[in-house]
Amino acid sequence: MLNLPFLNKPSKRNLTKEDNIVALDIGTEVLKSILFNVDTLGVEVSKVSRIEQQQHAMRSGIITNLDTVLENCRLSISSLTEKLAATEYPKNVVMGIAGEYIQGVSIVVNYQREENHDNEVTIKEQEKIISQIEKKIEINGKEDLSQRIGLTNEDIEILHITKTGLEIGGMPVDSLIGYKGRDVKLNYYASFAPRTYVEALRKVASDLGMNVIGIVSQPFSVARAYAGSSSREFSALFVDIGGGTTDIAVVERGNIAETKMFAFGGRTFTKEISKILDLDYRIAEQRKIKYSKKELNKELSRDIQKIVYPVARLWMKTLKSALSYCDDITTFPNQIYLCGGGALLPEIKEVMLEFPWKKFLPFSVVPKIDFFTPEKLDNIRDNSGELRNVFDITPASLTKFVYDNEIKNGRQ
């Protein structure tokens, strides 16, 4: 029987405000880590670290050179902990995972309480309801991913199965316990990944001497970290453009309805600049970053713009293709939030504003496009003063995942 983590169960780790934790976002271009703790009020960030990755370390969000990534992780953790006493050293880590083979499944389960609908739901009955659906989620999710990428069920690992919404008698609730009603609706987000990907991350944590308290699908964590995103009135589309991948999450009425990932991120732009201008990859990367910050002179900016714009249009076509495979979405939300380092390229927003959304995709109106910036994060207090950019959203969202699943849900 699948053990469903984070379903209204008390935390087994008993994390306290004194327990430092590390959030580790092993990005294709930049390895980002955050030192934080959690309490009943939310997340408290104390320090942020960013380490540039070597070109051979990652590909499309997946570790390709474990030794290099491990060394970068050690540098990052050392930066976070250099002023900590031995008793304050973090023992736990939460890690993000992305890539084309990470499967996110939104699951809606309808359940009828035929015999007891006039009685209040007890703890025992809620556990029974959940236990009746968990095996089906495990089997169906693994089968779907195995068919899509050609792996056997044994080669696929469940990352997390998270409750995103509950209803009884048509009324949204945090817990079924104490309510009466016949019709129960349960919303979950289940995330699965190839076992080899997960084992690589666990190897990193083990070599760092840290306990893994979560390996999290990044589009899911990003969407849940936006302030108010779990509200029944909230709907939006999140687009996180990293170095190796672009991650998409569609939120409908507070629930994660769909996630997609494709291997097209900022590295593709850098490679094109490197090739056309005959520059070393790292120099091309720095020139791209300076262009995004408007720090280049007019002539250099014009050269980069001519290269970047056609690549951005190709990226937009790939995004359109990914959205067209969101089979369960009848109408997309009219709000899009961008984050990730790749979103800083002005051509990204430009091609999105030019795109005829209503012509090719089921949008009722032309969507509004905004940036997901750190001040829009939910229940995160930044004592470091270092969460300033759209590329900080992904690692910060991992901290929110810990709060939701270890503290918030433990109180329900």
**Whether 75 and 124 share a structural domain:** no
Judge whether residue 15 has pLDDT over 70: yes
Q: How confident is the model at residue 141 (pLDDT cuts 50, 70, 90)?
A: low
Per the structure, the complete domain to which residue 322 belongs is given by: 261-371
Judge whether residue 297 has pLDDT over 80: yes
Q: Is residue 33 part of a domain?
A: yes
Judge whether residue 412 has pLDDT over 70: no
**Whether 68 and 112 share a structural domain:** no
Q: Is residue 168 part of a domain?
A: yes
The side-by-side arrangement of strands in the sheet containing 246-252 is: 255-262, 246-252, 236-241, 335-339, 368-371
**Whether 94 and 200 share a structural domain:** yes
**Whether 78 and 25 share a structural domain:** yes
Judge whether residue 36 has pLDDT over 50: yes
Judge whether residue 303 has pLDDT over 90: yes
Query: 233 φ, ψ to 5°?
Result: -90, 0
Mean pLDDT of 196-216: 94
**Whether 281 and 320 share a structural domain:** yes
Looking up residue 350, the CATH number of its domain turns out to be: 3.30.420.40
Judge whether residue 3 has pLDDT over 80: no
Which of 193, 216, 250 terminates a domain? The answer is 193
| Contact present, 36 and 23 (Cβ < 8 Å) | yes
Q: Is residue 48 part of a domain?
A: yes
Q: Is residue 310 part of a domain?
A: yes
- pTM for this one? 0.90
Q: How confident is the model at residue 13 (pLDDT cuts 50, 70, 90)?
A: low
Average pLDDT, the chain: 90
Q: Is residue 380 part of a domain?
A: yes
Q: Is residue 15 part of a domain?
A: no
Would you call 319 exposed, middle or buried from its count of C-beta atoms within 10 A (0-12, 13-18, 19+)?
Answer: buried
Q: Is residue 315 part of a domain?
A: yes
**Whether 272 and 335 share a structural domain:** yes
- Distance, in Å, from the CA atom of 412 to the CA atom of 408, rounded to the nearest integer, reads 7
Interval 367-390: pLDDT, tens: 999 999 999 999 999 999 999 999
Interval 236-286: pLDDT, tens: 999 999 999 999 999 999 999 999 999 999 999 999 999 999 999 999 999
**Whether 152 and 210 share a structural domain:** no
Interval 43-66: pLDDT, tens: 999 999 999 999 999 988 889 999
**Whether 319 and 275 share a structural domain:** yes
Q: How confident is the model at residue 410 (pLDDT cuts 50, 70, 90)?
A: low
**Whether 86 and 151 share a structural domain:** no
- Return the pLDDT at 248: 96
**Whether 340 and 380 share a structural domain:** no
Mean pLDDT of 145-170: 80
- Return the pLDDT at 409: 60
Which of 193, 211, 242 terminates a domain? The answer is 193
Judge whether residue 351 has pLDDT over 50: yes
**Whether 342 and 382 share a structural domain:** no
Judge whether residue 4 has pLDDT over 80: no
Looking up residue 177, the CATH number of its domain turns out to be: 3.30.1490.110
Interval 89-116: pLDDT, tens: 999 999 999 877 788 878 888 888 888 8
**Whether 189 and 201 share a structural domain:** no
Q: Is residue 233 part of a domain?
A: no
Domain total of the chain: 3
| 366 vs 193, more confident | 366
